[in-house]
Amino acid sequence: MNFTRRYILHYICIVLIIVTSCTRFEAVRDPYTLYIHISAEPGHLNPITSNEAIASSINSYIYETLLDRDYDTLELKPQLATKWEISPDKLRYRFYLKKNIYWNDGKPFTADDIVYSFKVIKDPKVANAPLKVYYIDVKSVKKLSPYIVEFTYAKPYFLALEICGSIPIVPKHIFDDGTDFNTHKNNRFPIGTGPYKFVAWNTGKTIELVVNDRYWGQKPDIKRIVYKIIPEPNVALQMLKKGELDVMSLRPIQWVRQTNSNHFQESFYKFMYYQPYYNYIGWNARNPLFKDKNVRKALTMLINRQAILDSLLFGLGTVVTGPFYIHDKYYNHDIKPLPYDPVKAKEILRKAGWSDSNGDGILDKNGIPFKFTLTIASASKFAERLATILKEDFAKVGIYMDINRYEWAVFVNKVDKRDFDAVTLGWSLSWEGDPYQLWHSSQVKAGSNFCYFVNAEADEIIENARKEFDAQKRIKMYRRFHEIIHDEQPYTFLYCTPALVVVSKRFDNVLVHKRGLNYTEWKVTTQ
Amino acid sequence: MKGYWSIVWKRFTQNRLAVVGLCIVIFLFIIALCAPLIANNKPYILIYNDTVYFPIFFEYKEFSGTDFKKIEGYKIFPPIPYSYSEYDLTAIVLPPSAKHVLGTDEQGRDLAARMIYGTRVSIFVGFVAVFIYVTIGIIIGSMAGYYGGWVDIIISRIIEIVMCFPTFFLILTILALWGQSLLNVMIVIGITGWTGIARIVRGEFFKLREQDFVLASKALGARDYWIIFKHILPNAMAPVMVSATFGIASTILIESSLSFLGFGVQPPTPSWGDILSQSRDFIDFAWWLTLIPGLAIFITITSYNLVGEGLQDALDPKQYR
């Protein structure tokens, strides 16, 4: 009996928190503060060891690097460097740094910080495997003077300028104090050179930044940025409507059905734009079921991708066929998605040796039944809905699929250990892609190639493309690579979905660039 | 001469609310037992090419993977002609109508079918988990109560230690370690919930072990287990039954809470808590997705509590009315 009572109390508590946090506000509203919704809390904010999307978006206002991409043209332009020189053999990259740049604590920024950051990136004890991939071929970073650094490559790499120019830079005088880099106390108290400086982190509630008075560039109009951590999207939407949030990413259903009133449109801008991203179902080729590419093709043909897109995601997105961003030059538009065709899929499976020989309703081959588990992350409602639909559709042709839902950290761990049959996930891509990290056969053991995609021709293309500086030739190579991937179907590629963002009309000059939104250019309207 | 249980039954039936509660509980039982007969996408009877089939009751190889709704022929469907996992992407989030009595959810699955199968999960979890913890509680409680002394001191301390754990978070932790499944939910509730029962049984045993009938059977040379299970336990069962009834109510609530938080059943198994959790996305326009599972949980818990209270009053010898 006291059992029951305790839970009732538990519920009232939750409700109370929601109610009070909804009514409390109003009093404190500084017009120069920007409130941004984030749905999950980053582990820490160290740009060298973090690979979370949320952390890198916060860090882009705190930390800077040598070169930056233009928001519209995506061309590289100077940030902390004033200019750069490339040796004729394309092996040496020399950067001249801006002078009079200061870290948030007042110490000057010099070439030593870059040399130290590079040392840390290469340090095998530092946990940043995905980042290390891109610096494999960098032999050394030398300080030629306090304001000149030189990167030396072992062999040419077409992305070298971008990789050198975007090296994450942390202050040497803070981090080089003999303590462990992975657990350094400043991982949760970042000190950078960017337009904003970090002031406070209330665990589970907010992360706060204020404008950096020492900033070398133009100072932004918004004086303070508060990231509010709210895991439940509906609570966040209610808070947005009450004016407690200024920026929020919507889910498709919120975009389509919950934010269309005139009242809402009067106070908020709605922006939809595409960014390099796709999601997919990965078939673990270590599993004998998925070894045969024809089976993987048949599975793709059993998934009604367009209908699922139209109903679960309200048509917001596009079906994709390969490993590049759909609006990227490398994407091969000659390849059409495999059609949804259960009859043909069944035919392909039969040819591949799968038939129901014992009459139990499940396909089998050499006595092995076609049974597997799809692993999904419990945070993703889309994955769960997709999974239940697939389970039904697969059952109709005699494939038995179980669904296993895991909490995010456990889920990531399972994927890293390759402990899954099939998995659904998404990739956020960089603007200039190199498929090495995801598709090269050297990455099957510890890297990001966890579905065991091994193909000699693909390896060759990936390796040669790294050395190819002619963009046109690279396009040709990557389009061929796209064909191979489509033919092999290591993933069932799903969708490229757009970012759906609402912004309060309190701000002016809110522009949607190719790279997305940039808070530093927003102006506060004075009403 | 009326028996003890007929007196209890008579006193129980005098409590109107308790009887209503019992009727609802029985009704839910029937629904849970007959779920495949009430909601199913296979017909009871199908006459096709002059052959009579009973697809609900038998598997026919010639129909495997086919949609019975598309087969021409004479057929009688159950009242709700949908299975709990059958989806229809052309009919998502529809309000209640003649076609879908309780509406549909975000994948176009029939809510009525899911609610009916959800009853199974709730009742199954409730009974199995309570059975586990009542068994553990009785064994441990009776040992403490019967032997007393050091045994009692040790067991009482263990009970106090287990009671100190914040149960809900212990359950969440264990589920995170073991992985989520219905079986694990039942086991976890079972092994964390026994302390109340153990205390009650211990107290009853303290009261009863000095009674004459126990002394008599001891004098006759009966063994401990015989005395414990044959003589004392039947007399100590009344408060255990009351507590178990309340326990079922709270277990159903825990299962719903776990499913609501995404720690309960694996999809697509329907559970009331899970349906409620899914409905959060549509809370401002799809009232049926929130109201119906919420109401089902509320009514079920209330009914079990009413039965428990009725039983408590009926079994209490001090409360002669």
Question: What is the model's pLDDT at position B166?
Answer: 81
HSE toward the beta carbon, residue A105, CA cutoff 13 A: 10
Is B124's Cβ below 8 Å from some Cβ in A?
no
What chain A residue is nearest to B163 in terms of C-alpha separation?
A3
CB contact under 8 A, A410 and B281: no
pLDDT level of residue B317 (50, 70, 90 thresholds): low
d(CA A480, CA A423) in angstroms, rounded, equals: 26
- The answer, yes or no, to whether residue A197 has pLDDT greater than 90, is yes
d(CA A80, CA B106) in angstroms, rounded, equals: 49
Residue B247's SS3 state is helix
CB contact under 8 A, A4 and B253: yes
Is B250's Cβ below 8 Å from some Cβ in A?
yes
Query: Worst-scoring range by mean pLDDT, A490-494, B27-31, B184-188?
Result: B184-188
Residues of chain B contacting residue A307, judged by C-beta atoms under 8 Å apart: 89
pLDDT level of residue B222 (50, 70, 90 thresholds): confident
d(CA B219, CA B213) in angstroms, rounded, equals: 10
Is B196's Cβ below 8 Å from some Cβ in A?
yes
| d(CA B61, nearest CA chain A) in Å | 7
Measure CA A90 to chain center. 30
Residues of chain A contacting residue B285, judged by C-beta atoms under 8 Å apart: 257-258
Residues of chain A contacting residue B254, judged by C-beta atoms under 8 Å apart: 3, 7
Of B106, B85, B312, B149, the residue nearest A311 (C-alpha): B106
CB contact under 8 A, A381 and B267: no
| d(CA B219, nearest CA chain A) in Å | 39
Task: State what percent of residues in chain A have pLDDT above 90.
Answer: 50
Burial B54-88 (b: 16+ CB within 10 A, else e): ebbeeeeeeebeeebeeeeeebebbebbbbbbbbe
CB contact under 8 A, A389 and B168: no
Question: What is the model's pLDDT at position B207?
Answer: 86
Residues of chain A contacting residue B284, judged by C-beta atoms under 8 Å apart: 258
CB contact under 8 A, B168 and A10: yes
Write down how long chain A is.
527
Q: Which of A25-34, A192-201, A424-433 has the highest mean pLDDT?
A: A192-201
pLDDT level of residue A240 (50, 70, 90 thresholds): very high
| Helices A471-488 and A293-301, axial angle in degrees (round to 10) | 80
What chain A residue is nearest to B106 in terms of C-alpha separation?
A312
- The answer, yes or no, to whether residue A18 has pLDDT greater than 60, is no
Is B180's Cβ below 8 Å from some Cβ in A?
yes
pLDDT level of residue B321 (50, 70, 90 thresholds): very low
Burial B124-154 (b: 16+ CB within 10 A, else e): ebbbbbbebbbebbbbbbbbbbbeeeeebee
Average pLDDT of span B303-313 = 90
pLDDT level of residue B2 (50, 70, 90 thresholds): low
Structure confidence by residue, pLDDT tens digits, B131-153: 999 999 999 999 998 888 899 99
Question: What is the model's pLDDT at position A301?
Answer: 94
- The answer, yes or no, to whether residue A467 has pLDDT greater than 90, is no
Structure confidence by residue, pLDDT tens digits, B65-95: 677 777 777 888 888 888 888 888 888 888 8
CB contact under 8 A, A7 and B250: yes
Structure confidence by residue, pLDDT tens digits, B92-130: 888 888 888 888 888 888 899 999 999 998 899 999 999
Mutation for A interface: B62, B84, B106, B107, most A CBs within 10 A: B107
Is B282's Cβ below 8 Å from some Cβ in A?
yes
CB contact under 8 A, A4 and B249: yes
CB B69 within 8 A of CB B43: no
Residues of chain B contacting residue A310, judged by C-beta atoms under 8 Å apart: 89
Query: Worst-scoring range by mean pLDDT, A27-31, A89-93, B206-210?
Result: A27-31
d(CA B245, CA B25) in angstroms, rounded, equals: 11
Residues of chain A contacting residue B243, judged by C-beta atoms under 8 Å apart: 1
Is B283's Cβ below 8 Å from some Cβ in A?
yes
Write down how long chain B is.
321
Question: At A259, which amino acid appears?
Answer: T
CB contact under 8 A, B85 and A2: no
CB contact under 8 A, B179 and A10: no
Is B304's Cβ below 8 Å from some Cβ in A?
no
d(CA A466, CA A482) in angstroms, rounded, equals: 16
The residue assigned the tokens 């949607």 is A512
User: Would the CA dihedral through A71, A74, A75, A76 be positive or negative?
Assistant: positive
Does a cis peptide bond (omega within 30 degrees of 0) precede residue B78?
no
DSSP letters spanning B68-136: GGGS-SEEE--SB---TT---TTSTTPPS-SSSTT-B-TTS-BHHHHHHHHHHHHHHHHHHHHHHHHHH
Question: What is the model's pLDDT at position A19?
Answer: 33
Interface of B with A in 61-90 (CB under 8 A): 61, 64-65, 85-87, 89-90
Structure confidence by residue, pLDDT tens digits, A362-375: 888 888 999 999 99
Q: Which residues pair with A424 in a beta bridge?
A: A281
User: Would the CA dihedral through B87, B88, B92, B93 be positive or negative?
Assistant: negative
For residue A362, what are the CA distances in angstroms to A357, A393, A394, B22, B54?
9, 13, 10, 43, 21
Average pLDDT of span B225-243 = 85
d(CA B157, CA B180) in angstroms, rounded, equals: 30
Question: At A219, which amino acid appears?
Answer: K
Average pLDDT of span A211-239 = 90
CB contact under 8 A, A251 and B281: yes
Does the pTM of the predicted model rise above 0.95? no
CB contact under 8 A, B89 and A308: yes
Is B267's Cβ below 8 Å from some Cβ in A?
yes
Structure confidence by residue, pLDDT tens digits, A150-159: 999 998 888 8
Pairing of strands B45-48, A491-493: unpaired
Is B253's Cβ below 8 Å from some Cβ in A?
yes
Q: B152: which 2 tokens? A: 């009692």
d(CA B48, CA A29) in angstroms, rounded, equals: 71
Question: What is the model's pLDDT at position A527?
Answer: 60
CB contact under 8 A, A391 and B268: yes
- Return the higher-pLDDT residue of A29 and A276: A276
Question: What is the model's pLDDT at position A108?
Answer: 93
Q: What is the mean pLDDT of chain A?
A: 86
Question: What is the model's pLDDT at position A377?
Answer: 82
pLDDT level of residue B224 (50, 70, 90 thresholds): confident
d(CA A313, CA B253) in angstroms, rounded, equals: 32
